[in-house]
Chains A and B, each alone.
Chain A
Amino acid sequence: MSQVQNERALVLVEQDNKGFADINLKVMGAIKRLREFTSLDVDLLVIGKACADLAASAARVPDIRQVLVADSDSCEHQLPENLVPWLAELARDYAYIIVGATTYGKNLIPGVAALMDIQPITDVVAIESASSFKRPIYAGSALVCVATDQPIKLLSIRGSAFHAITLGDASAVAAPIAAVIPPPSRSLSRFISQAIAPTDRPDLTAARIVVSGGRGMQNGENFQLLYQLANKLGAAVGASRAAVDAGFVANDLQVGQTGKIVAPDLYIAVGLSGAVQHIAGMRDSRVVVAINKDPDAPIFQVADYGLVADLFDAVPQLLEQL
């Protein structure tokens, strides 16, 4: 009796400063959806240096075939010159190569695709079949559904559009872990430094509540008001491009078309006008609150609850009443 072979999918595992990044669980959520259309054997690929802990976390992801680990000096900083040609070879045996649509995934997947002569589909927000996918264009002003005629699909997944799966606990049966030959170091680039803002707040893209400030905050010191509010709510803090450009806060707080895409249960926009590029980054939030003294600010058009008020009166009151 002949048996239909499953298609194979390769997921590039992303690590953040806490280890196994939340985006990986959202990517697995997208795989769960993809499995409604095709049977998949899923391999997770962990790339790094001294990354045994990360591989052990990855092995607790349910419903996977195995975890592949490339552990070497050449993988330490995920340099694309080392990883991209190697990934393009490694990926040839797979029908799907999938990564989160983060700066990590965006840095790697297009080059891998180009070397495989495949047109990738990035920022996928919906899976319509085994070969058709929706993605936003024009800063989210439209969604395009595209079908690909190519046998290998390279996809990046918008975390905000898929539900995270739950990682099995430490007692669950772990998937097997196998080493793969890591890439050689091609010495085309060197890591110099990385400045990561230390934070004990939840990750912006994973938080249940996000408090964002715009130009109306006037300066960086005034963002303390939003940090206090965030601490009280267990929220992450975000910002508009205007607030980042003005130097009030760091770039990694930017929400919008070219920054982070968030979809929390509650999004509180404070002193933030709501340019279309900003709304592109938060329009899928469940409940949106806008506090702005300009009654004509476009943010009110997407807000479930709008309060026309001076934020310097309103936010302290809100702090008192929570």
Chain B
Amino acid sequence: MKIVVAVKRVVDHSVRVHPLSDGSGMDIANAKMAMNPFCEIAVEEAVRLKEQGYANEIVVVSVGSVAVQEQLRSALALGADRAIHIQTEESLEPLGLAKVLHALIKQEQPELVLVGKQSIDGDHNQTGQMLAALSGYSQGTFASKIELNGDEVWVTRELDAGLQTLALKLPAVITTDLRLNQPRFPTMPNIMKARQKPLAVIPLADLGLELKNHLQVLSVESPKSRKQGVRVESITELVDKLRQEANVL
């Protein structure tokens, strides 16, 4: 079985980011970058499926400038077999990204596509579902457990109301949630080996897609800050304030 995993380069989750003072975007020019945490979970799951004998090839793909090759090398160090860099300087919206990934899986014909459920910059939570719809693959979102059963993959999904398990016919697109696994750290020998693994660069224009962004950013602003609160010294004082001052009890 071949697995395609899509990964995204984002601002590291530990960095606090703020809007630019002119409101045109976020101040991320010098921020530390990393692989989106949900994408790391997707790579880890693919590697585990290969270790368990279900998969024989893991292809990792990323879309963006030459900088995304850093994240592709990270994924190769975690255990992916080869990488594809779709090169563009454009920042694509989820729909454009899903069209690019759709073009790629038409070429690669994987049985399973793993993507993170959302990226921690745009927080859209769209690309995997769009890819499933465009490709006609079955869809398992917000996965916290994945099991292969013959020509089906069983996916346990984290829903607002609890957990749901679905059996999906392959090929399938699965979006990964936090509790699917705990990603490993790459070892130094694997980081060295990753440098020798194949990484193909495809200019976006070569895919022959007509892509257009549709959302115009009018402003980016900080959310309303909460006003500084007070410290109370005891539960008695707290209950009194909640009753008399805040009127919430």
Binding site for B on A (CB under 8 A): 16-17, 77, 79-81, 84-85, 88, 102-104, 106-115, 117-123, 128, 132, 135-150, 187-197, 205, 209, 233, 241, 244-245, 250-252, 257-258, 260, 265-266, 276-277, 283, 286-289, 300-309, 314, 317-318, 321-322
Contact B215 A114 (CB under 8 A): no
A185 to chain B, nearest CB (A): 13
By beta carbon, the residue of chain B nearest A125 is: B223
Contact of B231 with A by CB under 8 A: yes
The 0/1 profile, CB within 8 Å of A marked 1, for residues 83-109 of chain B is: 000000000011100100000000000
Known: A103-B159, A302-B226. A150 touches B214 (CB 8 A): yes
How far is it, in angstroms, between the C-alpha of A282 and the C-alpha of B236 when the chains are bound?
Answer: 25
B239 to chain A, nearest CB (A): 5
Contact of B166 with A by CB under 8 A: yes
By beta carbon, the residue of chain A nearest B241 is: A305
Known: A114-B134, A189-B138. A194 touches B163 (CB 8 A): yes
Contact A114 B98 (CB under 8 A): yes
How far is it, in angstroms, between the C-alpha of A303 and the C-alpha of B227 when the chains are bound?
Answer: 9
Contact B95 A113 (CB under 8 A): yes
The 0/1 profile, CB within 8 Å of A marked 1, for residues 159-197 of chain B is: 111111111110000000111000000000000000000
Contact of B74 with A by CB under 8 A: no
A91 to chain B, nearest CB (A): 13
Q: Which of B118, B125, B218 contacts A147 (CB 8 A)?
A: B218
Q: How many residues of B contact A (CB 8 A)?
A: 80
Contact A318 B218 (CB under 8 A): no
Q: Which of B133, B157, B242 contacts A289 (CB 8 A)?
A: B242
How far is it, in angstroms, between the C-alpha of A138 and the C-alpha of B31 when the chains are bound?
Answer: 13
Contact of B219 with A by CB under 8 A: yes
Q: Which of B125, B144, B213, B232 contacts A122 (CB 8 A)?
A: B125
How far is it, in angstroms, between the C-alpha of A110 and the C-alpha of B220 when the chains are bound?
Answer: 23
Contact B226 A288 (CB under 8 A): yes
How far is it, in angstroms, between the C-alpha of A114 and the C-alpha of B124 when the chains are bound?
Answer: 14
Contact B166 A258 (CB under 8 A): no
Contact A122 B161 (CB under 8 A): no
Known: A106-B125, A194-B163, A245-B179. A288 touches B229 (CB 8 A): yes
Across the A-B interface, the 8 shortest Cβ-Cβ residue pairs = A111-B133, A114-B130, A110-B126, A110-B129, A304-B229, A317-B235, A192-B165, A266-B248
